[in-house]
Amino acid sequence: MVLKCIECGRKYDENDLRYRCECGGLLEVVTDLDRAEDVFDGKNVTLWKYKSWLPVKSRVSLNEGGTPLYKLKNLEKGFGVEIYAKNEGANPTGSFKDRGMTVGVSKALELGMDKVICASTGNTSASLAAYAARAGIKAYVLVPSGKIALGKLAQAIIYGARVVPVRGNFDDALRVVVEASAKLGVYMLNSINPFRLEGQKTIALEIYDQLGFVPDNIVLPVGNAGNISAIWKGFKELYEKGITEKLPRMMGIQAEGASPLVRAWKTGEKFKPIEKPETVATAIRIGNPANWPKAWRAVKESGGLFESVSDEEILQAQQLLASKEGLFVEPASAASLAGLIKLLEIGEVDRSESYVLITTGHGLKDPNVVLNRFTLPEPIEPTLDAFKEVIR
Ligand SMILES: Cc1ncc(COP(=O)(O)O)c(C=O)c1O
Ligand SMILES: N[C@@H](CCOP(=O)(O)O)C(=O)O
């Protein structure tokens, strides 16, 4: 396997320690499709079932992947469309990042690296910390001070990472991490690292394996824009290998206050970062998505779209998923349903098609966002009469 620049096509050895091309372009792994096996029988789905599609030989694993794909029957009745959710909150640390980290940390060991680093709005740091612990190597995680959900911070701390709060947002932290990885000999495991995205492309492989068909549309939240690029790469490889005959449309959803891709998409202007991103969905509070050229290509090639949703729409969708389907996801993940609802309302989508929402992270990671919106009633006396009063 080799690394290839998505801008100029220059190739590099897979063991070159680099994250970008000399021209500055993003790199991607060129998968050896002759080696990739047709294992799609709908059985025993886990990430490592697809090892012949992945660019590593070693394996640092916590049994990631194999996440449930639910048919959202109650929401389907309400909205009159076929909807599924691929629930990535069921991964070992509660988000899709584990798919990237099992491959990324395995690659770090193959390259002989004993220190890893990332910038994070929370989930990447939790996941990197866990996989570094499993591998017995040191993790440094830089997070925007005061802007990371409680559960994610607790995870990074308890897994033993060196947590470094930064006075600034995610984009500022990532700048420092990119410099540190170039100058201090630490291996960077943000999604600019193409091996991270190889792990994440297994979401596509699993969706096909579990459904037995390629859905018409994939709807997912977009932050640093790695996941949408990775999932598209997975579907394209299935297609290029001749296993599937169809490709889905990729629909990327951003929060209104952090939506540089939506702005460029809708205005036709050149992509420009947002200086001060803001949203209740802290996981996607990102103004300068590092993978934006890959995400743009995924949406363009697939005939998809970018759309934005307000914080209120995100929180309502979070409540809907929990109260109608028993799925508690974090706010960023609910942006996928919020996006689909908005697209249905404005008539931008076809009601006869199927939609798979990627619910990217577990709701328990960010309990405050729920507790801040709801107040408990006064306590009652411990008697049946008091309870009867309540339900009267
Ligand atoms: C829960 C959650 N959802 C969505 C995203 C967005 O994914 P990406 O950065 O790959 O676009 C992130 C991280 O950015 C996340 O943590
Ligand atoms: N939401 C992410 C942001 C960083 O994205 P990455 O995929 O580039 O690591 C996080 O959890 O930190």
Is 44 a domain residue?
no
Query: Between β-strands 69-71 and 27-30, what pairing exists: parallel, antiparallel or unpaired?
Result: unpaired
Q: So what's the pLDDT on residue 17?
A: 94
Distance 224 CA to ligand 1 centre (A): 7
- Rounded to the nearest 10 degrees, the angle between the axes of helix 97-110 and helix 123-135 is 40
With a 6 A CB cut-off, is 333 part of the ligand 1 pocket? yes
User: Taking 90 as the threshold, does the pLDDT of residue 1 lie above it?
Assistant: no
Q: What is the pLDDT of residues 290-327, one digit of tens each?
A: 999 999 999 999 999 999 999 999 999 999 999 999 99
pTM of the model: 0.98
Cβ contact 137:109 at 8 Å: yes
**Alpha helices, DSSP H only, in the chain?**
73-79, 97-110, 123-135, 150-158, 170-183, 194-200, 202-211, 226-240, 260-267, 292-302, 311-325, 331-345, 367-371, 384-391
Verify that 249 and 354 share a domain, yes or no.
yes
Q: Are 85 and 107 within one domain?
A: no
186 and 325 co-located in one domain: no
> What is the identity of the amino acid at 240?
E
How far apart are the C-alpha atoms of 243 and 135, rounded to whole Å?
34
Tell me if 267 is assigned to a ligand binding site: no
Domain interval for residue 26: 1-30
Quick check: is 54 in a domain?
no
For the stretch 270-292, pLDDT in tens is: 999 999 999 999 999 999 999 99
pLDDT of residue 151: 97
Residue 349: the pLDDT is 94
CATH number of the structural domain spanning residue 143: 3.40.50.1100
My answer on whether 80 and 224 are in the same domain is yes
The number of residues in the chain equals 392
Nearest C-alpha to atom 14 of ligand 1 is from which residue?
A: 223
**What number is the average pLDDT over the span 185-212?**
98
Number of domains in the chain: 3
Domain assignment present for residue 227? The answer is yes
Indicate the top mutation candidate among 19, 96, 124 to test ligand 2's pocket, ranked by most ligand atoms within 8 A of CB: 124
Known binder of ligand: residue 223? yes
Instruction: Establish whether 288 is an annotated binding residue.
Output: no
